[in-house]
Structures are given as C-alpha cells and as structure tokens.
Copies of this chain bind each other. A is one copy, B any other.
Amino acid sequence: MSSPFPRAVPTVSCAAHPREVLRITSIASYVAWAHPARPTTDRGDRPEGARQVPPTTRPTSRDVAREAGVSQATVSLVLGGKWRGRVSPATADAVRETALRLGYRPNLAARSLRLGRTRTALLVVPALTNEYFARVHTGAARVAAAHDFGVVLYPSPEGVGPARDPFGSARAALDGVIASSMAADALAAISGETAAAPRTAGGPGGLPLVMLDSDPAQSGAAATVNLDLASGMRQVTGHLAALGHRRIAHIASAVDSWTFRVRRAAFDAATRDLPGAVVTRRTAALSVEGGLRATHDALTAPGARPTALVCDDDVLAAGACKAARRLGLRVPLDVSVTGFDDLALATAVEPELTTVRLPADEAGARGMAALLAVIDGLSPQQADLPVELMIRGSTGPCPVEPR
C-alpha cells in the first residue's frame, strides 16, 4: 500500500547520503549514552560512597553550539530542519559538521518532554511468538518509519505471563495505540476508558486507538482495520463444496476472540446454505497438539466420518493433518484439510495447506496509517482487507465411497 501521508523530513539531517552510513551512524550513536545507574529499587541505599554522575556524558546541543560558535537555538533549528530562511547556509553547514564530529544525538526524552508527543505508537499483540503478528508489526513499523514514527511492541499478558506493569514493557510515552484482538483484557480497559470520547483524538482522556481484527461496533476505537474473514471462510467452504464435500467438521479455536467468532459465524452461514451439508464442530487449543486432539475426536466420533476439516488456523490444520494420518487416513485422498492465515507453516508441511492468506503485513500498515490519520485529526478509510484462498495440496475431491 502506498502511504497516503507526506513523507516526513528526517529530524536530524544526515549529511551522509548512503543509507548504510546513516544506519550505522545512528545505531552507533546509542552507544554514546551511558550512566552506570543502579536500579532505583528499594534495596537499601549503598553504604559505600555514592558514586556520582559519570565523568563522561554525551554531547548536548549546547556543546555543539559552543563548539560551532553559535547559539544553542541555532543548533536546534538547523538540526530540526527548520532553518530555511533563518540561518545562513554556511552556519547551518558548520553546525551540522560539528554535530557529526561530536557524535551529537538529540536526547529523545528531552524532545518528547518539550513536544508533549513522542512519535511513538504502541502495538499491542497477544503474543510475539506468532508469525502472524510479527508480520503485522513489520507492516506497522514500515509505515511508522516512513512517518518518522516508532513502534513499540507490547505483548499482552498472555504472551509473557501477566506483565506486572505495562510500563515495564511499553516504556516509552505514547502517541497512540494499535491493538489487535485476542488481547481481551487490555482492550476492554482501553475501550472502557476511551468510551467517553471514542471518535476523536485528543478528547478528554482519549489516546488515539486503532483496533485490528476486532468488532467495529464494540471496540470504542477511533478506527478499526479488519480483514474480510467472512469472505475467506466462504471461499473455503465454497471450495470444499465444489469438491463434493458435504460432511465437514470445523476445527475451531478455543480462544474466545472476535476474529474466531467471525470465522465460526461465517462457517455456519456458508454451510447452512449448502444442501445436504452435515456439519460438526470441535474446539481446540491453538496449537498443533490442540488441533491434533480435536481432529482425532472429530474423525473418530460415532456417525459418518467428515471428509473435510475446516481449521481456524494453519497451526490447527497442521495438527489436523497429523491426526488424520495417525488414523491411517490420507490427506487429501481420504480427508481434506484447510487452514487459515497462510503462515510459512502452510507450505512447510506436506501436503501444503490449502488456506486463506491473510494480509498481515498490510493490516499492520493500514493500522498504522489509520492511527497516523487519527492523530492528524483525519478520518481514516475503513474497508475490510481482502483475503485470498490459496489452493494447495491438502484439499481434494470428496472420496466417492467414504468410510
């Protein structure tokens, strides 16, 4: 997606043009910031003489100013790129040169404090250990970077265990929040607080919030970026129906979040219209093991065995394939399996999974774009992102004489 926003001008102008150099310079700059500080825990004050501030500090804009023979304000203007008609080019160059030579880097804390905003967004994800959200982050970070924004991840409690304090994880001050579903607790809290002024940025107590993959009606967010999951599920069932499958089991995620409720409802709606459809459902923990167990149950339950397994997720589908094979069933000859998400896993297993590709990267990018729009006081575009059925080897024609 090409961003609808104008490109931000780099805050600290970088004489070095090749991005290699820029990158290195910038990272290396971090090195120039160190105070051997001890945690401010109440572990009793040090008895031995209190070591004071270290002798070496990194240069401030004042140092640059002194060194360059200008005022500190001039340094700020030049490095901030706002010197257009106010500082002579020669002076500006001198300042930049000095800043570079001293290895000056603006103090972000000071800047944030002064500006009252941080150009930082929080991305709340259920757990980092998931390729899907990694891709969401990638997309969000890409758009953010293009606008000189940063993204800080907050893996919501389930991810790292109940985080004692989000300040520990999301340490930065924030300009906005992007939250995906599946972070129920946190989301409830956020929307609850935002309810007073849901649609505006800067309302009383209203930090701009964009929700991903969540109920637009309930989120209380300024914007919602959703995927057309219903279409995906319809494509899946349509595909299976076209292959002749009628006995279909839904291996559903046990996680109670909007995204899975939508998948379930879409599955139900799609199969309801399928003449002769015999539908069952098992819920499973969101893991290979969970999918395996639920599928085992679905395939060994009394009654006619399903010929197709619609899984809420690729991971579940991988488990489903294992379960089928352990029962001596061939995929897709005896039973077809579909996934959802199109993770790398989908093409790592054999047969490769027929699955629904979710544009995770794009969702993250849209989410960030929406957040930036909200922060800007604009109304972000709202449209479900299209998903695409990837037909691969795990689905095939319904066996003629099943069982």
Contacts and interface: CB of A to CB of B under 8 A. Distances in A.
Interface of A: 5-12, 14, 19-20, 22-28, 30-43, 53-54, 56, 58, 80-82, 103, 107-110, 112-113, 115-120, 122, 124, 128-131, 134-135, 137-138, 141-142, 144-153, 155, 157, 159-177, 185-186, 188-190, 192-194, 200-209, 287-288, 315, 318-319, 321-322, 325, 344-345, 347-350, 372, 375-377
B38 A376 contact: yes
Number of copies: 2
A130 B135 CA distance: 10
Nearest to A206: B34
Given A9-B42, A37-B375, A138-B159, A150 B168 contact: yes
Contact of A193 (B28, B40, B172): B28
Contact of A322 (B11, B205, B350): B350
A152 B172 contact: yes
Contacts of A175: 33-35, 37
B23 A166 contact: yes
Contact of A32 (B33, B35, B207): B207
The 7 closest A-B pairs by CB, nearest first: A150-B171, A36-B202, A109-B112, A24-B189, A109-B113, A31-B193, A145-B168
A151 B162 CA distance: 15
Contacts of A134: 128-130, 134
B348 A315 contact: yes
Contact of A8 (B11, B41, B142): B41
A325 B344 contact: no
Contact of A203 (B7, B34, B115, B372): B34
Given A109-B118, A131-B131, A170-B150, A164 B22 contact: yes
A194 to B, nearest CB: 5
Contact of A202 (B35, B112, B137, B155): B35
A6 to B, nearest CB: 5
B26 A165 contact: yes
Contact of A348 (B118, B129, B288): B288
A78 B175 CA distance: 27
A130 to B, nearest CB: 7
Contact of A173 (B33, B54, B129, B131): B33
18 contacts: A19-B162, A23-B185, A27-B166, A27-B189, A28-B192, A28-B193, A30-B170, A31-B209, A34-B206, A34-B208, A36-B202, A41-B147, A42-B81, A108-B109, A145-B160, A152-B171, A318-B349, A345-B345
A9 B42 CA distance: 7
A43 B372 CA distance: 15
A201 to B, nearest CB: 4
A379 to B, nearest CB: 13
A380 to B, nearest CB: 14
A8 to B, nearest CB: 4
Contacts of A113: 107, 109-110, 113
A53 B209 CA distance: 20
A117 B131 CA distance: 33
Given A7-B41, A8-B41, A377 B36 contact: yes
A13 to B, nearest CB: 11
A138 B129 contact: yes
